[in-house]
Amino acid sequence: MRIIFKTDYMQDLRPWKDGYQLSLYLLLIAAAIVAPFVFDAFFLGELTNVLIWALAGLGLMVLTGHTGQASLGHAAFLALGCYANIILVEAGVPFLIAFPLAGIITGLVGMVIAIPALRLHGIYLAIATMAMSILADDIIVLTEHWTGGVGGKYAPPVNVFGIDVDRWGTPKAFYYLVLGVTILVTLGYINLLRSPLGRSFIAVRDSEVSAQAMGIDVARTKAISFGISCAVTGLAGALMGLFAGAFNNETFSVVISIQLLMMIVIGGLGSIHGAFFGAIIIGFLPQFLSISKEWVGALVGGSNVAIPGLEFGIFGMILIMFILFEPMGIYGRWLKIRTWFELFPFYRKDMFKRQKSYLKTERLR
């Protein structure tokens, strides 16, 4: 049983509670740094993929998890970041400038889009962003001159501080690039959450009227949240494009938008951990399925049958289970398990019980 005694306000201001927790996170980062020397190129690629998804998840988490605005259209911003980055690089802008610029462009576009979208609430915002994501597909085809349309584009190799970074040629360098970006974004995210802006996001999520009464400009806060969210998603999109090597209008379809939202729900809405947990599920589920399919195939003695849609089917079932039994996602479950160990043997089942309330309409006649 571990009890944290608080003697100083700084303990609540620091991102970690005590030295024990800090050392755990440092250990995790150390493990991530040595990973390329332990794993083979294939697994490293998978790990890179997970980190990119986590980055995209962090982007959506700002908007959906912390500001409470569900977006089913973030694939459009992934696409925007990806194309902006590649077009800039092709125009001769060094990657180190093009990459953050791609994020900033995506963020600004996101903010502009947010202005009309701000009038929409809940489900209406979700459907509007979804429509946007569907339209993005067509816009890419229509602006063929820049985007290469259906034919798509190929990601050129990029150069960071004189080191060639390429998904296939130098997977280790690419991994470190992604890891570095992810860590920086995560640190920035943590900083925002412990500052007034992060708290105003949560305020807007939980009660718009009282946020307003506390002096928070709701529309402005939502627009900023949209902007940050889209900027981070744009960065993830740029990395995703480099990772995929080739992409066209279908790479960032509306299905990716949906998948991204589901990912952070499984991981746990409203927590940074959730984005990472969700990305791990998304990244490793296909591998896990193909391995278990082989295993079942060997067991039954039949051949290796391909079942189309299996991945999404399983994914859907996992999601339903989580929403029904653990709405706080994997992070929520993780908190419970941790608390159980920390308080052993005093854990009570109702410690995390949520109050259920009757639904009251938001519509008025």
In the bound complex, what is the minimum distance in angstroms from residue 237's beta carbon to another protein?
Answer: 20
8 Å CB contact between 130 and 257: yes
What is residue 247's three-state secondary structure? Answer: strand
CB closer to another protein, 51 vs 216: 216
* Residue whose CB is less far from another protein, 97 or 187: 187
C-beta of 247: minimal distance to another protein in Å?
A: 19
Q: Say if residues 60 and 74 touch (Cβ distance below 8 Å).
A: yes
DSSP one-letter code for 245: S
Contact 29, 180 (CB under 8 A): no
C-alpha triplet 109, 113, 115: angle, nearest 5°: 125
Contact yes or no for 203/210 (Cβ under 8 A): yes
User: What distance in Å separates the CA atoms of residue 228 and residue 81, rounded to the nearest whole number?
Assistant: 13
DSSP string for residues in 207-222: -HHHHHHTT--HHHHH
Of 227, 311, 224, give the one whose Cα is nearest residue 262. 311
Give the whole-angstrom CA distance, residue 81 versus residue 87.
10
Residues in contact with 337: Cβ distance below 8 Å, sequence separation at least 6, in sequence order: none
Cβ atoms of 171 and 45 within 8 Å: the answer is yes
**Cross-strand partners of 164:** 159
Query: Closest distance between another protein and the C-beta of residue 129, in Å?
Result: 10
State which residue, 47 or 113, has the beta carbon closest to another protein. 113
C-beta of 94 vs 316, nearer to another protein: 316
Nearer to another protein, 116 or 162 (CB): 116
Q: How far is the CB of 142 from another protein (least distance, A)?
A: 7
Distance (Å, rounded) from C-alpha 196 to C-alpha 216? 10
In whole angstroms, the minimum distance from the beta carbon of 173 to another protein comes to 27
Burial of 311 (0-12, 13-18, 19+ CB in 10 A): middle
**Residue 353 CB, nearest distance to another protein (Å)?**
7
Q: Which is nearer to another protein, 154 or 346 (CB)?
A: 346
Q: Which is nearer to another protein, 124 or 344 (CB)?
A: 124
**Nearest distance in Å: CB 181, another protein:** 15
CB contact at 8 A, 26 and 207: no
Smallest CA-to-CA distance from 122 within 167, 184, 64, 163 is with: 64
Least distance to another protein, CB of residue 111, Å: 12
Q: Provide, rounded to whole angstroms, the least separation between the CB of residue 283 and another protein.
A: 18
**Of the two residues 130 and 165, which places its CB atom closer to another protein in the complex?**
130
Residue closer to another protein (CB basis): 161 or 358? 358
